[in-house]
Structure formats: C-alpha cells, structure tokens
Amino acid sequence: MVPFNILVAVCLAYVCLLFVVAFAAERRAEQGLARWLRSPVIYTLSLSIYCTAWTFYGAVGYAARSGLEFVTIYLGPTIVMAGWWVILRKLVRIGQAQRVTSIADLISSRYGKSNLLGVIVTLICVVAATPYIALQLQSVTLSVGVFASETPEGWALPDQGATALWVAGGLSIFTILFGTRNLDANERHHGIVMAIALEAVVKLVALLAVGIFVVWGIAGGIGDVIDRVNASPIADWPLKPARWMGLTFVAAAALLALPRMFQVMVVENSDERHLATASWAFPLYLMLMSLFVLPIAVVGLGTMPEGANPDLFVLTLPLANGQGKLAMLAFLGGFSSATSMVIVCSIALATMVSNHVVTPLWLSMRQGGVRAPGDVRGLVLMSRRVSIAAILALGYTYYHLSGGSAALAAIGLISFAGVSQILPAMLGGIFWRGATRVGAALGLSVGFGIWLYSLYLPSFGPDGLLSARILAEGPAGIGWLKPQALFGIEGLDPLLHAVFWSLSLNTAVFVGASLLTFPNPVERMQGLAFVNAFDQDPGVRGWSRGGVEAEDLLTMSQGILGADEAQEFFQAEAARQGKGGFLPETTPEFIERLERRLAGSVGTATAHAMISQFAEGAAVSAQDLMAVASEAQQILEYSTQLEAKSEELARTARALQEANDKLKDLSVQKDTFLSQISHELRTPMTSIRAFSEILMDPELPGAMQQKYAEVIHEETIRLTRLLDDLLDLSVLENRKVQLTIKAANLHDLLDKAVQAASNTRPERSFVYNRDTAAEHMPVITDTDRLLQVFINLVSNARKYCDAERPELTILTRKRGGRIIVDFIDNGTGIPRESQRLIFEKFARLTDTQRAGGAGLGLAICREIMVNLGGNILYLPGQGGAAFRVSLPVKPESQQSAEAA
C-alpha cells in the first residue's frame, strides 16, 4: 500500500527533480554548453511527448475495448517518421530558414504572412487541444483517485475536481517558469526539452516495468500471455479496414499538425540530421511503449474484477498484486506523460496566441505604434504567461464540464481529428506553389466548422452543447444536416464520418479556391521559398526548364526595360533559337541571359528576385532579399559619393572663381593704381610746367617771378615726396625692408611723434590726452619705422579731426607680450563703409588740399606694422577716428632666439 501523503511527496519530489534538470540545462545553454543538450537522442526523447497519458493509460483501455486498433495510433507516426525525408525534412528546413515559431506561424508565413490564417490556425489548435489537456488532467486525477480508493483508512481525499485544479495550477506555474523565461529568437527552450526527455525515459521505464511484471509476475510468461490473448474477446475483435486506415491517417496527420509536436519536432530542432536518428529511434520508442499494451489489457481483463476501468489497468494491476512501489513508478510514468504534454502544448499554444492574437491586437489598438522595443518584449512575455494560464484554465473548464467521464481514447481522437484540419493547408503550402491564402483560409474554416459540428460539439453528449433533437433529426428537422450523418450517409462510425467529411471538404475547398484565386506577390514569393525550400543553398543558382511562360517574362521585362527594348531582346532571343516572333523557349540559358540583361537595369539581386517570381528551380531566399537591400544600399552610397564629388567640384569651381575674381581685382587694382599714380604725378607736373612757361614770359613782374618760382619749388618737393612714398611702399610690400632694431622708451617715441606732427595745421590748438606714466615701457623694434607710423597717425588726427576743440587721446598698455597703442580723436570718425578702404593706397577720403599727400600714409603704416610683426587696425565705436597699433615687445626672431 502507498500512503497518499507519500504519493504527494513523491510527486513533489519528482517535480522538483524536473525543475533542477530544466534549470541546469538552461544554465548550461546560457554558458554556451548546449551542444550535448542537443544530441539526436535528446531530440528523439523529446518527440515522445506524442505519448501522453492517453497513450500511457488509454492504450490499454483502448485495447481492452477495441482490440488491436490502438496500434493505429503508433502506426501513423511511424509511417511519417519512416518517410521523414519527404515531409519532415522539408518542414524542418523551412522552419529553420523562415524562423518559424509555431504551426500557426508556418501557415501564416507561407500564405503571404497572413495574420488571418495565423488566427484561424491558432483557434483550431486551441479548441482542439483543450479536450486533450482536459484528458491529461483527467488521467492524473483518475490515477490519484486509484490510490485514494486503495487507502484502507479511507482518508478524506480532496474531491476529483480539486485534484485537477491543483494539477492544472501547478503545471501552469512550472510552464510559466520555464517556458517564458526569455524570448529566444527561435523559441527554443533548452530546460523544457531536457525535462521532457527525462520524462520520456521515466514513462518508458515505468510502462516496461509494469509490462514485465504483468507478463512474468502475474501471467506465466510469453506463452501464457499468447494463450490468454487467444482466449480473450480481443482475438475475436473484427478488423475494420476503413477504421484502421482512417485512424492511421489521423494519427499521422496529428503528428505533423499537433502544436506540441510541431514545437519539439520543428521549432526546437537544432540540427536537421537529428531527424535521421529519430526516424528509426522514435518508431522504436513507440514500439517499446506499445509492446506490453496487449498483455496488460488481456491480463487485466482476465484478473481484475468486472467493471474495473481498463484505462487504469497500468496502475490497478500492480496495486491489486501488492506491488506498491511498481504502482508508484507507473503513477510517475503517467504523471510524466501528462505533465510533459501539458507543458509543451501550453507553451506552443501560448506562443501562437500571443504572436497571432494578442500582439497584433495590441499593436493595432495602439495608434502611436511601438515606441520602445522593451514595450513589445514585455507585452509578449506577459501575454504568453497569461495565455499559458488561460489555456490550462480552459482545459480544466472542459474537464469540469465534460464531467471527466468519456473514455480517454475518444477524447484524444477528437483532438487528433481537429488538428488534422491543418494538414491540407500545410502540405499544400510546402508542395504546391498554386496554393493560395484564400484557399487555405476557406479550407481551414470549412474543415474546422464540420469538425466542430459533427464531432466536437456532439462529444459533450446528448443535450451537452447540441440538443439531442439536433443530433437525432438534424437542425430544424433537416435530415441531411444531422451532425453525425451528414448528407444522408448513415451508419458510419462518428469519428470516421467526421474525419471523412471535414477533411475531404476541407481539401476540396482548399484546392478549388486556390485554383480560382491568385496569390499576391508576397504570397508568391513565400510559396516559392517554401516549395523550393531545398534549392536555397547559397551558391546554388540557375534555372530549370519549364514552369515559366515566356509571355510572363516579357510582360515583366517590358516593365523594366521599356517595351521596345524588351521586345527587341525577346525577338533576338527567339531568333537565336531559330524561332520567329517574340516568345523564345524558356531555356535556362535564355533565362540566365534575361537575368543579366535585367540586372543591368535593376541590379542582380533584384533581377534574380523578379525572375524567381516566375521561374522554377530557384527561390527568393532571405539572402536574395538581403542582396536586394544591400544593392540598393550600394546605389545609395554611390550616389552619396557622387554628390560629395560634385560638391567638391562645386567647391573647386568656387575657389577658382574666387581666384579669378581676385586676379581680376588685382588687375583692376593695378590699373587703378597706375591711373592714380599717373594722376598724382601729373598734378604737380601740371603746375610746374604751366608756371615754367609763365616764367619764360620776359614781361612777368619780378614779384610774380619770385612767387611762381616758389610754387615750382613746392610742387617739386611734393613730387619727390610722392616718389619717395611709392618707393618706400614698394620696399615694404615686398618685405625687403632693412629693419634697424634697437631699444627705446615708448614714451619718448610718442613725444617725438607729437613734436614732429605739430607743424601739421599748426594754426589749430590741439589737445593731447596722455597717461605718461603708463607710456614708460621699453620697446625693441625698428624705432624709426614705428615713429613714422606714430607721426602719420598724429598728423592725420591733426589734419582730419573736425571737432570744434580737437583732442587726441593716446592710450598705451602691455597685454600678453604685446604693446598696444590707441590713437583716438574726438571727431566724427570714419564712416563705416570707408573703414575698410583707409589702408588702401590712394584711399584719400577728403580733398587734396587738406590731405596734402597722395593718400599713401596709412597704406605705408600698415606695411610698416606688418614688417614689425604687429598690425594697425581701425577701432570702430570709439566716438571719433580711432587707430590701434599693436606690436610685440621685442621682435619674434629675437624672442625665439632668447628662448632657445
């Protein structure tokens, strides 16, 4: 006897073990040590979630009720696995290439990423899986009940509903903990896979142990069992070929279409080659699982009391024979079967619900779109967690509503029939390019509807969800619409009836609607990618003959090359093949040439992608699309470069233009300069010549002679000064001036300047404002030249300052190794527009008389200051005319010599 509390303790301990295994596997995976987790053996063991509690407990019951028919449930998957090269390999390849996350994602992606299809498939899966999950809860509840009734003390056990609730709650917590830890790119769950692999071992060992005990412990060995089989009613059970074929087909379809199988087989697959191992190892596993089903059923039927539930023989036989520990092992096997199925199934369904229902809804409701990536990630994780809990809650509700009475196998088959509705759209999608979204959506809907009406709803029993009247007479008395005898076909097994009608109409509508509708471009591209999944190896290119119409290619080419050029090309190609007209044979050579021609216009990747829309033998792969993108990128970069180049050219042109303008300016300046020199020279010359001629007049009075001779003398001096200035300026401008560097006191220099300038307009009283104390500072430079500048500035002030009481303020200071001297008068200053002209040659702003010079003074000052390593600037905003002279305290060459 196994006390109930020990049973609970063992269960908890077992779950804890699963936790540890799953956690350890996750940790190893995170550390990048997942390699051994991903062996073919683990993969094969993970496939064993096909064997749920239904297989573990129910197969025996099935055998007890229907003889060898239970074998079909193993036969279907075995056939699919044996033929893995045909379907499974392609599914896995597509799954990897398209990064498929669930079966709903597969269908949605194949048919042009249609979310409607994703929703339909999700709906089918959730509805079909709900009874299946209920089945697992029921089996665990029943098995717990077995131990309870065996308890001699007759403990007050929680009622069955409460047990199911506890199981459902516990499983949802475990699943949420390990199924939604992260958003793995490919939705892979290392921990979960490892845990269910362990559970696969536990359930196999448990069933084998019970089988061995039954055969050799209760019965008298193999021979005895065979005798018992022959003697039992099972041997007389008639083989119904239609039902066998139907069930085998449904089981095969279910293996492909069950969300949890798709999850472990395709999504969790890390290496296509594992399929090769699984193709024999998984059928072997199924064979071992089914090996002792018949003996246990026969022995159970023979030895257990009348009315004992054959679904529980695996548990009750050891218990009845006093094998408490074996029964415990069997219980754990059943528990493993149930839990592994529920965990994976709810993960798969939650992925579908969150990806195809919750997230799209949320995104469409949010007008602003996605603001932060973290937003969606959090949402998806949360919606998966909630979905897992909701799916288990649905399962529990179904269990509660259906009363947990129906035979396990019947519930399982209803589920199988439900998910097998996905099969036409799935197989059509990966083998038939003509399959369209509309076809798939209509086929799925029709099949799903018929399944609901003829199998699912009636499964709740008369007056469950469909009234007994409808079941017996059809809706509103329409006989041919009777749920279990559609179109007047009576007497068929309800399951076969439903499978037949739902799948055949599903397929017919799918094919028919696909033929009548046209796929959109995305659909067409995805269709190619799916159907030609094996031709996508990089480097494999080239086109196969057939399947493409020259006319289609011509139409497309006209759009790219232009009508004339395309027609010309096609005509030439046809002529090359010895044909007339515009339509050459679509030989691979021709398509290659066309592709190259198109590539000239739109780039190679784009051309390939476009031809791929029509031609067989190649598909648009992700690489192709990436290439399209990178081609566009290159074009963009190239045009950016061109832009930069033309920018550069424009800059160069501007620079040339500027240089040219400068040259023109220089030329104009030169002309202006010559003209000005000419004018400045001719003016004194005019006076000299005119008075010379006058002096030649013998009648000229003596006083006049004297006066005119003085004029000539004065003008000659003026002329000489002008020539001196010009020569001086020329020397200074060519930087060929010989500087005589010596030290002086700035104060003394300013004194001399004021003194020298005093004969300029001496009639005016002129006030100097000076801070003589500040002026005492040494300066080492060409002091004569500096003095020349000072004199010029002071003279200018005296000449041009138009104030009533003219004043000149001279400010001196030293700043950063430079001496700064400002000359500021209190006149009206120099107009802004003239300020930049004053240092130019001959830029005399006022009339000649007042200036008394040729207008070279400031130009010479500027050149002197440049030669002294300083500068002279006009200082605006000082009230009057203001000039700032600045120069180094000592010449730079001398400074650096001292520093060195």
Partner 1 sequence: MGRHVLLIEDEPHIAEAIRYILTRDGWAVTSLDEGGAALAAIRREVPDIVVLDVKLPGRSGYEILDDMRADPALSGLPVLVLSANLPREVPAALPGRGGLSRFLAKPFANADVLAAVRQMAGA
Please state the closest distance from residue 852 (CB atom) to partner 1, in A: 12
- 669 near partner 1 (CB under 8 A): no
C-beta of residue 504 within 8 angstroms of C-beta of residue 424: no
Q: Which is nearer to partner 1, 704 or 729 (CB)?
A: 704
Query: Directed axis angle between helix 274-291 and helix 40-47, to 10°?
Result: 50
Are 306 and 203 within 8 A, CB to CB? no
Contact predicate 310/77, CB 8 Å: no
Choose which of 457, 583, 625, 711 interacts with partner 1 (CB under 8 A).
711
Residue 230 is a binding residue for partner 1 (CB under 8 A): no
Tell me if 693 contacts partner 1 by CB under 8 A: yes
Nearest to 718 by CA among 758, 696, 686: 686
User: 604-612 vs 588-602: helix axis angle to the nearest 10?
Assistant: 130
Query: Using the rule CB under 8 A, which residue among 396, 448, 570, 691 binds partner 1?
Result: 691
Nearest to partner 1 of 159, 802 (CB atom): 802
Q: Which is nearer to partner 1, 707 or 813 (CB)?
A: 707
Contact characters 816-855, partner 1, x per CB under 8 A: ------------------------------xxxx------
Cα dihedral 562, 565, 569, 570 in deg (nearest 10): 50
Q: What is the DSSP string of 304-315?
A: SPTT--GGGHHH
Per-residue burial over 702-725, b if 16 or more Cβ lie within 10 Å, else e, is eeeeeebeebbeebeebbeebeeb
* Contacts of partner 1 in 492-531 (CB under 8 A): none
Q: How far is the CB of 667 from partner 1 (least distance, A)?
A: 15
Strand-pair category, 807-815 with 871-874:
unpaired
Binding-site member from 675, 720, 769, 834 for partner 1 (CB under 8 A): 675
We find the least distance from the C-beta atom of residue 854 to partner 1, in angstroms, to be 12
Residues in binding contact with partner 1, number by CB under 8 A: 22
Comparison of 602 and 843: residue with beta carbon closer to partner 1: 843
Token pair 């209509």 in the structure block, residue? 442
* Residue range at the interface with partner 1 (CB under 8 A); choices 193-201, 400-408, 690-698, 771-779: 690-698
> Cα–chain-centroid distance for residue 191?
27
In the complex, minimum distance from the CB of residue 697 to partner 1, in angstroms, rounded to a whole number: 8
* 3-class state of residue 885 by DSSP: strand
What does 760-783 look like in DSSP terms, one character per residue?
SSTTS--EEEE-HHHH--EEEEEH
Nearer to partner 1, 648 or 714 (CB): 714
Q: DSSP secondary-structure letter at 433?
A: T
Q: Is 694 in the site for partner 1 (CB under 8 A)?
A: yes
For residue 872, which of 806, 793, 799, 815 has the smallest C-alpha distance? 793
User: What are the tokens at 131?
Assistant: 């009874």
Stretch that binds partner 1, among 358-366, 535-543, 683-691, 882-890 (CB under 8 A): 683-691
Q: Provide the minimum distance between the beta carbon of 881 and partner 1 in the complex, in angstroms, as a whole number.
A: 19
The reply on whether position 713 binds partner 1 by CB under 8 A is no
DSSP state of 455: I
Alpha carbons 775 and 769: distance in angstroms, whole number? 12
Q: Using CB under 8 A, pick the residue from 1, 245, 370, 685 that binds partner 1.
A: 685
**Please, what is the Cα angle at 441 between 440 and 447, to 5 degrees?**
85
By CB under 8 A, residue 705 contacts partner 1: no
**Based on CB atoms, which residue is closest to partner 1, 675 or 893?**
675
CB of 653 to partner 1, least distance (A): 33
Binding mask 441-470 for partner 1 (x = CB under 8 A): ------------------------------
**Residue from 689, 814, 832, 836 binding partner 1 (CB under 8 A):** 689
Cβ atoms of 615 and 638 within 8 Å: the answer is no
Of 687, 781, 792, 886, the residue at the interface with partner 1 (CB under 8 A) is: 687
**The two structure tokens encoding residue 64:** 């007890």
CA–CA gap between residue 593 and residue 587 (Å, rounded): 10
Give the one residue of 690, 843, 866, 889 binding partner 1; rule: CB under 8 A.
Answer: 690
Interaction of residue 34 with partner 1, rule CB under 8 A: no
Residue 743 Cβ vs partner 1, minimum distance, rounded to whole Å: 44
CB-count exposure of residue 736 (10 Å: 0-12, 13-18, 19+): exposed
Query: Max Cα separation, the chain?
Result: 177
Q: Determine the Cα–Cα distance for residues 893 and 889; give it in Å rounded to an integer.
A: 12
Tokens representing 108 are 């949605």
Interface of this chain with partner 1, residues 96 to 135, rule: CB under 8 A: none
Count of C-beta atoms within a 10 Å radius of residue 520: 14
The answer to the question of residue 478 lying near partner 1 (CB under 8 A) is no
Contact pick of 366, 679, 713, 836 for partner 1 (by CB under 8 A):
679
* Segment near partner 1 (CB under 8 A); pick from 593-601, 709-717, 827-835, 860-868: 709-717
Residue ranges of alpha helices (H) inside 151-189 are 160-179
Residue 671 C-beta: closest distance to partner 1, Å: 9
CA gap 111, 91 in Å, rounded: 15
**Angle at the Cα of 371 (from 366 to 377), degrees rounded to 5?**
90
The stretch near partner 1 (CB under 8 A) out of 129-137, 247-255, 470-478, 681-689 is 681-689
CB of 851 to partner 1, least distance (A): 11
Angle at 236 between CA 235 and CA 242, to 5 degrees: 100
Q: Of 556 and 690, which CB lies nearer to partner 1 in the complex structure?
A: 690
Give me the least distance between CB of 675 and partner 1, in Å please: 6
Smallest distance, partner 1 to C-beta of residue 664, A: 18
Least Cα distance to 329 among 408, 217, 222, 211 occurs for 211
Q: Write down the least CB distance from residue 893 to partner 1, Å.
A: 43
Please give the C-alpha separations between residue 315 and each of 312, 403, 415, in angstroms, as whole numbers.
5, 22, 25
Nearer to partner 1, 469 or 679 (CB): 679
What is the number of other CB atoms lying within 10 angstroms of the CB of residue 316? 23
Shortest Å distance, C-beta 832 to partner 1 = 21
| 683 binds partner 1 per the rule CB under 8 A | yes
The answer to whether residue 688 forms part of the interface with partner 1 (CB under 8 A) is: yes
Q: How far is the CB of 826 from partner 1 (least distance, A)?
A: 24
Decide: 805 and 769 in contact? Cβ < 8 Å: no
C-beta closer to partner 1: residue 381 or 690: 690
Angle (deg, nearest 10), helices 293-303 and 190-212: 50
Pick 571 or 683: Cβ nearer partner 1: 683
Q: Does 686 sit near partner 1 (CB under 8 A)?
A: yes
Residue from 428, 408, 423 nearest 125 by CA: 423
**Min separation Cβ 684 and partner 1, Å:** 8
Single out the residue of 682, 813, 832, 836 in contact with partner 1 (rule: CB under 8 A).
Answer: 682
Beta bridge partners of 822: 811, 884
Q: Which of 674, 727, 767, 897 binds partner 1 (CB under 8 A)?
A: 674
Task: Name which of 537 and 699 has its Cβ closer to partner 1.
Answer: 699
Give contact residues for partner 1 (rule: CB under 8 A): 674-675, 678-679, 682-683, 685-691, 693-694, 711, 714-715, 846-849
